[in-house]
Structure 1
Amino acid sequence: MSKSKLRWLLERDQTLPLYRQIEQQLRQRISNGEWPVGTRLPSQRKLAEQLGVNRSTVTQAIDELASWGIIAGNKGGGTRVVNNTWNRLAANTINWDRYVESGAHQPNLPAIRQINEAEYRADIIRTGTGEPGPELLPTARIRHILADASDEPFLGYEEPKGNLRLRQQIVHYVAKQGIQCSPESILIVSGALQALQLIAIGLLQRPSSIVAEAPSYIQSVRVFQSAGIGVHRVAMDAQGIKMSHLRQQLTEHQPGLLYTIPTFHNPTGTIMSNERRAELLELSSSLSLPLIEDDVYRELWLDEEPPPPLKSQDRHGNILYLGSLSKMMSPGIRVGWIIAPVPVIDRLADIKMQTDYGSSGLSQYVATRWLADGHQAQHQAWLREQLQARRDRLLAALEYHFGDIGAWNVPAGGFYIWLRLPVTVHVHRLFKLALRERILIHPGYMYDRAAAHHIRLSYSYAEMGQLEHSIQRLRQLVKQCMDV
């Protein structure tokens, strides 16, 4: 059963005891089918944490349900629902756990599920979240666009490739980065993650594989693995992909494509050097190896403008280019794009129509106005100043609190600092200890199993005073883990 936060209201000023209120609400979810027979209940400790009560209170409620034969526990198997009525054993009910466990899409790693749930707790300090914080979002500009939208016909479905006006604006936008394309070679998607999903199911045979940098964002989502596509690791250094290792992996595995984030890499912040970019393009051309260039962080440069996109040098149609407004304008708008050869875009547009019948017309209208009215250029200049100041404050906090026990990169853009901890630190234990103190970290093993002594820090989301306090407390927790 999902361990998501229980959104139940306990009336603490009622005469009805808390354990009885909990029992009634548990029983209601069982009797109405939300928790069918066979469902495993959260642990008593977890229930107590989520409901904000003592564990003994939860124990009373559980014991009451057990006495009625509604739930039962067994050694090693936890407590499960065994009956959904008060007078009849439910012998022929559907075992939904079997269906859930049989689904084709792989579940997230446990740490990622915990992060996804904890991020929406009001008391949590989010030290690794990869999106702009609320105070960095252009709320007033978006409100103005929406207020001026009364006569726009955006409430119907859009055409398969997306709103034509938006695609035309993207043509002009990416031309400033050296990318030449037409609206026909652009597909509007609901964020870059959907672009990866479409590519995984629409362009690759099964069984097959891809190669990707290690560590990599792509290892923290199960897009390709769930589509039956293997993901092979390619080592990195300060200049980006190690070309010798890439050639070795290509020889051994003959993958279908390469996924790369060459500019402000997630999670390391690395910028691929011009020399490596040229080598990679030459290799792609000589081997006819398609590349996915994930370029969603490009406009977040802080010190100097990064090298041009790989796509700007693509004369053979080898690169599938991913862009997005999520990191700059709004993650909630969910507007991104793929730029690729027209036959590829036609194929992916057809699949997208089969899955969601097109991205939100309202979101596409907002994105069109955002680009057409010049908001992107104005906002990104301001946002860079804010992110640069935040980065420098986080670097100063790290130098003060981790200078003797850690190492890290100095990112020239993007959101992230890749912090390496002593090898004696068990990051899984650190994650749990920090979460108990309402500090949410992103452990490195989410991005690569070999990065077990790293954490990804972000200076884009948390309020800076809270983030600095978290760094101070994290040092204490790291030292505590080192002493074990």
Structure 2
Amino acid sequence: MLSFKKGAEPEVHRQLNRHSDIPLYQQIEQIIKEKILQGEWPAGTKIPSQRKLASMFQVNRSTVTEALDELTAQGLLEGNRGGGTKVANQTWSGLTAGPPLDWTSYVRSGIHRPNSMTVQEINRQEFAEGIIRLGTGELAPELLPYQQMEKILRGAASERLMLGYEEPKGNRYTREVLAEHLSRKGVRVSADSILIVSGALQALQLISIGLLKRRAVVLTEKPSYLYSLHVFQSMDMRLCGLPMDAGGLDPSVIPAVKKRHGADLLYTIPSFHNPTGKLMSEDRKRELIQVSKRLSLPVIEDDAYGDLQLDGPPSSPLKAMDREGSILYVGTLSKTVSPGLRIGWVAGPEPVIERLADIKMQTDYGSSSLSQWAAAKWLSSGLYDENLSRIKSELRQRRDEAIRCLETYCRGIARWEKPSGGFYIWVTFLKPLSLSALFEQALQKNILINPGTLYDKEAKYSIRLSYSYASLEELRYSIQTIAELAGKLM
């Protein structure tokens, strides 16, 4: 298991003036002092470690130590044995203002669980300069359609553009366009059965609070993207993992699992599964539909990657086989157009969509009307298909290069399967090694990986490798480096 310090650490985003007459340690001292005295770092805040501060400011650790010693001498910081350095309870502002407000206890008391420290670290490091994002679930900037988006936004004088609030389910025209888009995938739903959401993750949040009781049992693949989130766990729900093989999730085990543990809902990513990249076979899909019907088990189908088939004919979604209304179909434009657009959708029975729409109105009063308008333009103008063809060509090239590099550098130390679409390759090392050490050592080489334990606590020797973000040159360097580091750790 990966091990990081408990408690999120604050960030520092200030550059030092290396041409100033003021010594660097005094500049660091002043930056931290300002954050404390302005209330940005209240009493009890655990400040970043000396190693992290040295990395943030790009100075020697001794320079940071000198700054922290000065702040400690002034009574602004205090160190606890084994507990790191924290902002002291008796800061200069606190001396005259009475007991300081203990924001730390409020932060710990929130009902929504925080991300794991590993996920928080990844989220921070993804935006660090020079980092190669080898595990990220995002398209590279050069694959995003900036010129096409600019062209669409220039036409924002369209009579369909809305700048006010939209109706609860989302803009009607956008939902009609989505219904037509889904029909080309074999999914037959009307605009009335579609809810527009701010990305697929919001769909899961709405479902968790709108349809499930506390302590509900959610079945999912193991490993699964869902294990890296606390959407369901924060509502005291229990995740129960189902085994996978080359054909994806095995539906035959569901009845026994349901009998033993219970089951209120099944969450699955049948098309280019996250994190393994597997594609559920057509036979498995039909079997899953039958099992779902027989057990009256509702299914969430997450089809975020369904349009990214790189080899062979397109695979139909589970929802295309659904004639009973037992599947909630979740889609998004984040993986094919732009994650910044923040547009996704849920398609399902109208009573369910009405319920989720009501909760969404209570939550944010609707997704961005401008983003909904842009999404409709993308899907109705032919630009979506044109852009998708370009992205798939680029992803195919990057996937093939990643596979070639794995065969060159990782043969004999790891195993993997070539995905036929999506973003990911699930790499499992053949001998035990410390994932936390691999993570840290890779980070020192400016390579950011996603450990398998994010998706399954038992996946102690696996990583999720993404070919959607790193360039061909970065893929070659990072895969070779990971192989060398892993070989030394085994």
Q: TM-score range by the shorter chain?
A: over 0.9
Aligned to 1:70: 76
Q: What amino acid sits opposite 1:58 in the alignment? A: V
Q: 2:102 aligned with 1:95, yes or no?
A: yes
1:436 corresponds, among 434, 441, 444, to 444
1:237-256 deviation per Cα after TM superposition (whole angstroms, max 9, x unaligned): 11111234322221112221
Aligned to 1:109: 116
> Could you tell me whether the CA contact under 8 Å between 1:125 and 1:440 is conserved in 2?
yes
Aligned to 2:58: 52
Q: What amino acid sits opposite 1:328 in the alignment? A: T
Aligned to 2:4: none
Q: 2:247 aligned with 1:226, yes or no?
A: no
> Could you tell me whether the CA contact under 8 Å between 1:264 and 1:270 is conserved in 2?
yes
Aligned to 1:309: 317
Q: 1:330 to 1:123 in 2, by over 3 A?
A: same
SS at match of 2:233: helix
Identical aligned residues as a percent = 48
Q: What amino acid sits opposite 1:11 in the alignment? A: N
> Could you tell me whether the CA contact under 8 Å between 2:132 and 2:447 is conserved in 1?
yes
Residue pairs, 1:114-193, within 5 angstroms:
114-152=121-159, 153-193=161-201
Q: CA deviation at 1:305?
A: 2.5
CA distance in 2, matches of 1:130, 1:243: 27
Aligned to 2:433: 425
CA distance in 2, matches of 1:92, 1:248: 57
1:22 corresponds, among 22, 28, 36, to 28
Aligned to 1:414: 422
1:142-179 deviation per Cα after TM superposition (whole angstroms, max 9, x unaligned): 11001111355432111111111110001100101111
Aligned to 2:285: 277
1:213 corresponds, among 217, 221, 230, to 221
Q: CA deviation at 1:471?
A: 0.8
> Could you tell me whether the CA contact under 8 Å between 2:8 and 2:117 is conserved in 1?
no
Residue pairs, 1:338-417, within 5 angstroms:
338-417=346-425
Aligned to 2:92: 85
Q: What amino acid sits opposite 1:128 in the alignment? A: G
Q: CA deviation at 1:89?
A: 6.8
Q: What amino acid sits opposite 2:458 in the alignment? A: A
> Could you tell me whether the CA contact under 8 Å between 1:70 and 1:86 is conserved in 2?
no
1:3 corresponds, among 6, 9, 14, to 9
SS at match of 2:112: coil
Q: What amino acid sits opposite 2:63 in the alignment? A: T
SS at match of 2:13: coil
Q: 2:308 aligned with 1:291, yes or no?
A: no
CA distance in 2, matches of 1:336, 1:151: 22
> Could you tell me whether the CA contact under 8 Å between 1:4 and 1:117 is conserved in 2?
no
> Could you tell me whether the CA contact under 8 Å between 2:251 and 2:291 is conserved in 1?
no
Q: What amino acid sits opposite 1:404 in the alignment? A: G
CA distance in 1, matches of 2:335, 2:143: 10
CA distance in 1, matches of 2:458, 2:126: 25
Q: CA deviation at 1:326?
A: 0.8
CA distance in 2, matches of 1:52, 1:133: 26
> Could you tell me whether the CA contact under 8 Å between 1:186 and 1:339 is conserved in 2?
yes
> Could you tell me whether the CA contact under 8 Å between 1:295 and 1:309 is conserved in 2?
yes
Q: CA deviation at 1:57?
A: 1.1
CA distance in 1, matches of 2:445, 2:459: 24
Larger deviation, residues 418-427 vs 264-273: 418-427
Q: What amino acid sits opposite 1:3 in the alignment? A: E
1:312-335 deviation per Cα after TM superposition (whole angstroms, max 9, x unaligned): 111111000001111111111011
Q: What amino acid sits opposite 2:53 in the alignment? A: L
Q: CA deviation at 1:87?
A: 8.2
Aligned to 1:447: 455
CA distance in 2, matches of 1:291, 1:87: 54
Q: What amino acid sits opposite 2:76 in the alignment? A: I
CA distance in 1, matches of 2:98, 2:443: 40
Q: 1:90 to 1:74 in 2, by over 3 A?
A: farther
1:318-356 deviation per Cα after TM superposition (whole angstroms, max 9, x unaligned): 000001111111111011000011110111011111111
Q: 1:304 to 1:259 in 2, by over 3 A?
A: same
> Could you tell me whether the CA contact under 8 Å between 1:191 and 1:334 is conserved in 2?
yes
Q: CA deviation at 1:81?
A: 1.3
Q: What amino acid sits opposite 1:124 in the alignment? A: I
CA distance in 1, matches of 2:10, 2:468: 25
SS at match of 1:301: coil
Aligned to 1:480: 488
| C-alpha RMSD over aligned residues | 1.4
CA distance in 2, matches of 1:104, 1:27: 31
Aligned to 1:43: 49
Q: CA deviation at 1:404?
A: 1.7
Larger deviation, residues 240-249 vs 445-454: 240-249
Larger deviation, residues 243-252 vs 345-354: 243-252
CA distance in 1, matches of 2:175, 2:185: 16
> Could you tell me whether the CA contact under 8 Å between 1:70 and 1:81 is conserved in 2?
yes
What runs of 5+ residues in structure 2 fail to find an aligned partner?
A: 1-6
CA distance in 2, matches of 1:294, 1:284: 16
SS at match of 1:455: strand
Aligned to 2:3: none
SS at match of 1:404: coil
Q: TM-score, normalised by structure 1?
A: 0.97
Q: CA deviation at 1:17?
A: 0.9
Q: 2:211 aligned with 1:203, yes or no?
A: yes
CA distance in 1, matches of 2:84, 2:9: 13
Q: What amino acid sits opposite 2:79 in the alignment? A: G
SS at match of 1:187: strand
